[in-house]
Amino acid sequence: MSASPHNALPASIPQAPRRVVRGNGLPGKLAFVPSFPARTAAAVVPKVALDEISLSYRTTSSERLLALDKISLEVKPGEFLCVVGPSGCGKSTLLHLIAGLHPQTSGRVLVDGKPVDGPGTDRILIFQELGLFPWLTVGGNVEFGMKMKKVPKAERDEKVQHYLRLVQLLKFRDSYIHQLSGGMRQRVALARALATEPDVLLMDEPFAALDAQTRDLLHDELERIWAETGSTIIFVTHNVREAARLGDRVVLLTFRPGRVKQEFAVNLPRPRHMEHPDVTLMARTVLDCLREEINKSLEVEYADEKAR
Protein backbone atom coordinates (compact mmCIF):
# COMPACT_ATOMS: atom_id res chain seq x y z
CA MET A 1 0.00 0.00 0.00
CA SER A 2 1.72 3.18 -1.16
CA ALA A 3 0.94 6.73 -2.05
CA SER A 4 1.52 8.22 -5.50
CA PRO A 5 5.16 9.27 -5.99
CA HIS A 6 3.86 12.55 -7.39
CA ASN A 7 2.54 13.53 -3.97
CA ALA A 8 5.08 15.92 -2.52
CA LEU A 9 3.37 16.28 0.84
CA PRO A 10 4.14 14.05 3.85
CA ALA A 11 1.75 11.11 4.00
CA SER A 12 -0.15 10.16 7.12
CA ILE A 13 0.95 6.52 6.94
CA PRO A 14 4.76 6.30 6.82
CA GLN A 15 6.78 3.38 5.52
CA ALA A 16 8.56 1.81 8.50
CA PRO A 17 11.31 -0.79 8.77
CA ARG A 18 10.22 -2.31 12.04
CA ARG A 19 7.87 -4.90 10.56
CA VAL A 20 10.21 -6.99 8.47
CA VAL A 21 9.18 -10.30 6.94
CA ARG A 22 10.98 -12.77 4.75
CA GLY A 23 9.46 -12.99 1.30
CA ASN A 24 9.20 -15.56 -1.49
CA GLY A 25 10.88 -18.20 0.63
CA LEU A 26 14.32 -16.81 -0.22
CA PRO A 27 16.69 -16.46 2.75
CA GLY A 28 17.79 -12.92 3.38
CA LYS A 29 15.28 -11.30 1.02
CA LEU A 30 13.48 -8.52 2.84
CA ALA A 31 9.98 -7.26 2.31
CA PHE A 32 8.63 -4.17 4.04
CA VAL A 33 5.06 -3.33 4.96
CA PRO A 34 3.57 -0.03 6.13
CA SER A 35 3.40 0.58 9.85
CA PHE A 36 -0.06 1.74 10.92
CA PRO A 37 0.07 3.68 14.21
CA ALA A 38 -2.58 2.75 16.75
CA ARG A 39 -5.17 5.51 17.16
CA THR A 40 -4.92 5.34 20.94
CA ALA A 41 -1.11 5.25 21.12
CA ALA A 42 0.66 8.06 22.93
CA ALA A 43 2.73 10.45 20.84
CA VAL A 44 6.24 9.12 20.15
CA VAL A 45 9.11 11.31 21.35
CA PRO A 46 11.24 12.18 18.29
CA LYS A 47 14.62 10.50 18.20
CA VAL A 48 16.11 13.76 16.90
CA ALA A 49 14.45 17.17 17.06
CA LEU A 50 15.79 20.45 15.71
CA ASP A 51 14.13 23.44 17.33
CA GLU A 52 14.65 26.73 15.45
CA ILE A 53 18.30 25.96 14.68
CA SER A 54 20.37 28.83 13.28
CA LEU A 55 24.09 29.08 12.65
CA SER A 56 26.10 32.12 11.61
CA TYR A 57 29.83 32.72 11.53
CA ARG A 58 32.33 35.39 10.57
CA THR A 59 34.10 34.97 7.21
CA THR A 60 37.73 35.80 6.44
CA SER A 61 36.54 39.22 5.21
CA SER A 62 34.95 39.80 8.66
CA GLU A 63 31.42 39.62 7.24
CA ARG A 64 28.74 37.76 9.18
CA LEU A 65 27.40 34.82 7.14
CA LEU A 66 24.10 33.14 8.01
CA ALA A 67 24.56 29.46 7.11
CA LEU A 68 21.40 27.93 8.64
CA ASP A 69 18.24 29.83 9.48
CA LYS A 70 15.58 28.66 11.95
CA ILE A 71 15.42 25.00 10.94
CA SER A 72 12.80 22.97 12.79
CA LEU A 73 12.62 19.26 12.07
CA GLU A 74 11.64 16.03 13.82
CA VAL A 75 13.03 12.58 13.02
CA LYS A 76 11.13 9.54 14.25
CA PRO A 77 12.85 6.57 15.94
CA GLY A 78 13.93 4.11 13.26
CA GLU A 79 13.31 6.57 10.42
CA PHE A 80 15.60 6.82 7.38
CA LEU A 81 15.73 10.54 6.61
CA CYS A 82 17.57 11.88 3.57
CA VAL A 83 18.63 15.52 3.28
CA VAL A 84 19.26 17.11 -0.12
CA GLY A 85 20.02 20.62 -1.30
CA PRO A 86 22.40 22.65 -3.47
CA SER A 87 26.07 23.04 -2.61
CA GLY A 88 26.52 25.52 0.21
CA CYS A 89 23.10 25.03 1.79
CA GLY A 90 24.50 23.65 5.06
CA LYS A 91 23.63 19.93 4.75
CA SER A 92 26.92 18.72 6.22
CA THR A 93 26.92 21.51 8.80
CA LEU A 94 23.53 20.29 10.01
CA LEU A 95 24.97 16.80 10.63
CA HIS A 96 27.87 18.33 12.57
CA LEU A 97 25.43 20.16 14.85
CA ILE A 98 23.46 16.96 15.50
CA ALA A 99 26.73 15.11 16.19
CA GLY A 100 27.65 17.81 18.72
CA LEU A 101 30.87 18.72 16.90
CA HIS A 102 29.92 22.38 16.67
CA PRO A 103 27.48 24.50 18.66
CA GLN A 104 24.61 26.26 16.89
CA THR A 105 24.24 30.02 17.23
CA SER A 106 20.64 29.71 18.41
CA GLY A 107 17.97 27.05 18.85
CA ARG A 108 18.24 23.54 20.30
CA VAL A 109 19.25 20.09 19.09
CA LEU A 110 17.44 17.37 21.05
CA VAL A 111 18.01 13.61 21.09
CA ASP A 112 15.30 11.65 22.89
CA GLY A 113 14.07 14.97 24.24
CA LYS A 114 17.43 15.88 25.83
CA PRO A 115 19.58 18.80 24.62
CA VAL A 116 22.80 17.95 22.78
CA ASP A 117 25.77 19.77 24.31
CA GLY A 118 28.64 17.86 22.69
CA PRO A 119 29.64 14.60 20.99
CA GLY A 120 28.21 11.33 22.30
CA THR A 121 28.37 7.64 21.50
CA ASP A 122 24.62 7.66 20.86
CA ARG A 123 25.37 9.58 17.62
CA ILE A 124 28.02 8.50 15.11
CA LEU A 125 28.99 10.51 12.04
CA ILE A 126 30.39 8.74 8.96
CA PHE A 127 32.34 11.16 6.76
CA GLN A 128 32.88 10.76 3.04
CA GLU A 129 36.62 10.45 3.78
CA LEU A 130 35.87 7.54 6.20
CA GLY A 131 38.83 8.21 8.55
CA LEU A 132 39.93 4.58 8.76
CA PHE A 133 43.32 3.88 10.36
CA PRO A 134 45.71 2.29 7.79
CA TRP A 135 47.99 0.88 10.50
CA LEU A 136 45.15 -1.19 11.96
CA THR A 137 43.55 -4.29 10.50
CA VAL A 138 39.88 -4.36 9.53
CA GLY A 139 39.10 -5.92 12.90
CA GLY A 140 41.27 -3.34 14.67
CA ASN A 141 39.37 -0.50 13.01
CA VAL A 142 36.01 -1.93 14.00
CA GLU A 143 37.26 -2.52 17.54
CA PHE A 144 38.75 0.97 17.98
CA GLY A 145 35.64 2.80 19.24
CA MET A 146 34.86 0.04 21.70
CA LYS A 147 38.41 0.21 23.07
CA MET A 148 37.94 3.94 23.68
CA LYS A 149 34.76 3.08 25.61
CA LYS A 150 36.75 0.47 27.61
CA VAL A 151 34.48 -2.39 26.52
CA PRO A 152 35.91 -5.71 27.84
CA LYS A 153 37.99 -7.65 25.30
CA ALA A 154 35.70 -10.69 25.14
CA GLU A 155 32.73 -8.45 24.37
CA ARG A 156 34.77 -6.53 21.79
CA ASP A 157 35.75 -9.73 20.00
CA GLU A 158 32.15 -10.88 19.92
CA LYS A 159 30.91 -7.57 18.51
CA VAL A 160 33.70 -7.32 15.91
CA GLN A 161 32.72 -10.75 14.64
CA HIS A 162 29.01 -9.87 14.66
CA TYR A 163 29.31 -6.57 12.78
CA LEU A 164 31.86 -7.80 10.27
CA ARG A 165 29.49 -10.66 9.51
CA LEU A 166 26.69 -8.11 9.18
CA VAL A 167 28.60 -6.19 6.48
CA GLN A 168 29.87 -9.47 4.95
CA LEU A 169 33.55 -8.84 5.68
CA LEU A 170 34.28 -11.40 8.39
CA LYS A 171 36.88 -13.23 6.30
CA PHE A 172 38.78 -9.95 5.86
CA ARG A 173 39.10 -9.36 9.61
CA ASP A 174 42.92 -9.59 9.52
CA SER A 175 43.38 -7.61 6.28
CA TYR A 176 44.66 -4.04 6.16
CA ILE A 177 42.76 -1.11 4.69
CA HIS A 178 45.05 -0.71 1.65
CA GLN A 179 44.17 -4.29 0.65
CA LEU A 180 40.45 -3.48 0.30
CA SER A 181 38.37 -1.98 -2.49
CA GLY A 182 36.57 1.33 -2.02
CA GLY A 183 33.26 -0.39 -1.40
CA MET A 184 34.79 -2.70 1.19
CA ARG A 185 36.32 0.27 3.01
CA GLN A 186 32.88 1.87 3.16
CA ARG A 187 31.56 -1.29 4.78
CA VAL A 188 34.40 -1.28 7.32
CA ALA A 189 33.49 2.30 8.25
CA LEU A 190 29.85 1.25 8.60
CA ALA A 191 30.78 -1.74 10.79
CA ARG A 192 32.98 0.47 12.99
CA ALA A 193 30.11 2.92 13.46
CA LEU A 194 27.58 0.19 14.20
CA ALA A 195 29.89 -1.58 16.67
CA THR A 196 29.49 1.29 19.14
CA GLU A 197 25.73 0.68 18.79
CA PRO A 198 24.63 4.29 18.24
CA ASP A 199 20.97 5.24 18.30
CA VAL A 200 21.51 7.71 15.46
CA LEU A 201 23.73 7.13 12.43
CA LEU A 202 24.71 10.33 10.60
CA MET A 203 26.02 9.77 7.07
CA ASP A 204 27.61 12.59 5.06
CA GLU A 205 27.59 11.59 1.37
CA PRO A 206 29.30 8.27 2.18
CA PHE A 207 28.92 6.80 -1.32
CA ALA A 208 29.70 9.88 -3.44
CA ALA A 209 33.16 8.74 -4.55
CA LEU A 210 32.09 5.21 -5.55
CA ASP A 211 31.29 3.89 -9.00
CA ALA A 212 27.60 3.29 -9.79
CA GLN A 213 27.75 -0.51 -9.48
CA THR A 214 29.43 -0.45 -6.05
CA ARG A 215 27.07 2.28 -4.87
CA ASP A 216 24.03 0.22 -5.84
CA LEU A 217 25.37 -2.78 -3.92
CA LEU A 218 26.00 -0.66 -0.84
CA HIS A 219 22.48 0.78 -1.04
CA ASP A 220 21.20 -2.79 -0.72
CA GLU A 221 23.59 -3.48 2.17
CA LEU A 222 22.69 -0.31 4.03
CA GLU A 223 18.96 -0.95 3.65
CA ARG A 224 19.40 -4.49 4.96
CA ILE A 225 21.53 -3.41 7.94
CA TRP A 226 19.14 -0.57 8.78
CA ALA A 227 16.25 -3.06 8.83
CA GLU A 228 18.16 -5.47 11.07
CA THR A 229 19.48 -2.90 13.57
CA GLY A 230 16.52 -0.49 13.74
CA SER A 231 18.89 2.51 13.86
CA THR A 232 17.72 6.01 13.01
CA ILE A 233 19.64 7.25 9.95
CA ILE A 234 20.07 10.82 8.73
CA PHE A 235 21.71 10.65 5.31
CA VAL A 236 23.04 13.68 3.40
CA THR A 237 23.38 13.38 -0.37
CA HIS A 238 23.55 15.47 -3.56
CA ASN A 239 21.93 12.60 -5.48
CA VAL A 240 18.14 12.91 -5.46
CA ARG A 241 17.69 9.43 -6.89
CA GLU A 242 19.82 8.03 -4.06
CA ALA A 243 17.56 9.89 -1.61
CA ALA A 244 14.42 8.45 -3.24
CA ARG A 245 16.01 4.99 -3.25
CA LEU A 246 16.90 5.00 0.46
CA GLY A 247 14.71 7.40 2.39
CA ASP A 248 11.40 7.18 4.19
CA ARG A 249 11.36 10.94 3.82
CA VAL A 250 13.40 13.50 1.89
CA VAL A 251 13.99 17.00 3.29
CA LEU A 252 15.02 19.69 0.80
CA LEU A 253 17.08 22.65 2.06
CA THR A 254 17.24 26.03 0.35
CA PHE A 255 20.42 27.69 -0.86
CA ARG A 256 22.24 29.72 1.79
CA PRO A 257 20.95 30.37 4.33
CA GLY A 258 19.74 26.81 4.63
CA ARG A 259 16.05 26.51 5.48
CA VAL A 260 13.61 23.62 5.10
CA LYS A 261 11.93 24.34 1.77
CA GLN A 262 9.88 21.16 1.46
CA GLU A 263 9.52 17.60 2.73
CA PHE A 264 8.66 14.61 0.58
CA ALA A 265 7.26 11.35 1.93
CA VAL A 266 8.62 8.35 0.00
CA ASN A 267 5.84 5.79 0.31
CA LEU A 268 7.34 3.18 -2.00
CA PRO A 269 7.63 -0.51 -1.08
CA ARG A 270 10.99 -1.95 -0.06
CA PRO A 271 13.37 -3.25 -1.17
CA ARG A 272 13.78 -0.56 -3.86
CA HIS A 273 16.05 -0.25 -6.86
CA MET A 274 17.58 2.85 -8.42
CA GLU A 275 16.24 2.01 -11.88
CA HIS A 276 12.65 1.39 -10.75
CA PRO A 277 10.20 3.79 -12.51
CA ASP A 278 8.58 4.87 -9.23
CA VAL A 279 11.97 5.78 -7.75
CA THR A 280 12.75 7.77 -10.90
CA LEU A 281 9.42 9.62 -10.68
CA MET A 282 9.96 10.39 -7.00
CA ALA A 283 13.46 11.68 -7.74
CA ARG A 284 12.09 13.88 -10.54
CA THR A 285 9.53 15.38 -8.15
CA VAL A 286 12.31 16.32 -5.71
CA LEU A 287 14.59 17.57 -8.49
CA ASP A 288 11.90 19.85 -9.91
CA CYS A 289 11.76 21.60 -6.54
CA LEU A 290 15.56 21.55 -6.13
CA ARG A 291 16.34 23.20 -9.50
CA GLU A 292 15.26 26.64 -8.28
CA GLU A 293 17.77 26.44 -5.41
CA ILE A 294 20.55 25.19 -7.71
CA ASN A 295 19.93 28.15 -10.02
CA LYS A 296 20.21 30.53 -7.05
CA SER A 297 23.57 29.03 -6.09
CA LEU A 298 24.84 29.37 -9.69
CA GLU A 299 23.72 33.00 -9.83
CA VAL A 300 25.63 33.78 -6.63
CA GLU A 301 28.72 32.00 -7.92
CA TYR A 302 28.52 33.91 -11.23
CA ALA A 303 28.10 37.25 -9.40
CA ASP A 304 31.12 36.46 -7.21
CA GLU A 305 33.22 35.68 -10.29
CA LYS A 306 32.25 38.98 -11.93
CA ALA A 307 33.12 40.88 -8.76
CA ARG A 308 36.69 39.56 -8.73
Q: Residue 250's closest CA among 120, 102, 81, 85? A: 81
3-state secondary structure at position 208:
coil
3-state secondary structure at position 106:
strand
Q: Strand 114-115: give its sheet, edge to edge.
A: 64-75, 48-58, 106-111, 114-115
CB 201 within 8 A of CB 124: yes
What pLDDT is attached to residue 229? 87
pTM: 0.80
pLDDT tens-digit readout, 86-104: 988 999 999 999 999 999 9
Neighbouring residues of 279: CB distance < 8 A, sequence distance ≥ 6: 5, 241, 244, 245, 268, 272, 273
CB 249 within 8 A of CB 263: yes
Neighbouring residues of 286: CB distance < 8 A, sequence distance ≥ 6: 84, 240, 243, 244, 250, 252, 264
Amino acid at 263: E
What pLDDT is attached to residue 77? 96
Distances (CA, A) of 239 to 86, 245, 294: 10, 10, 13
What backbone torsions phi and psi does residue 98 show, to the nearest 5 degrees?
A: -65, -40
For domain 46-122+198-307, give the CATH number.
Answer: 3.40.50.300
Domain assignments of the chain as residue spans, ordered by start: 46-122+198-307
Ranges of residues in the chain with a pLDDT under 70 are 1-43, 301-308
What pLDDT is attached to residue 88? 84
pLDDT tens-digit readout, 168-221: 899 999 999 999 998 899 889 889 988 888 899 999 998 887 888 888 888 998
Other beta carbons within 10 Å of 273? 11
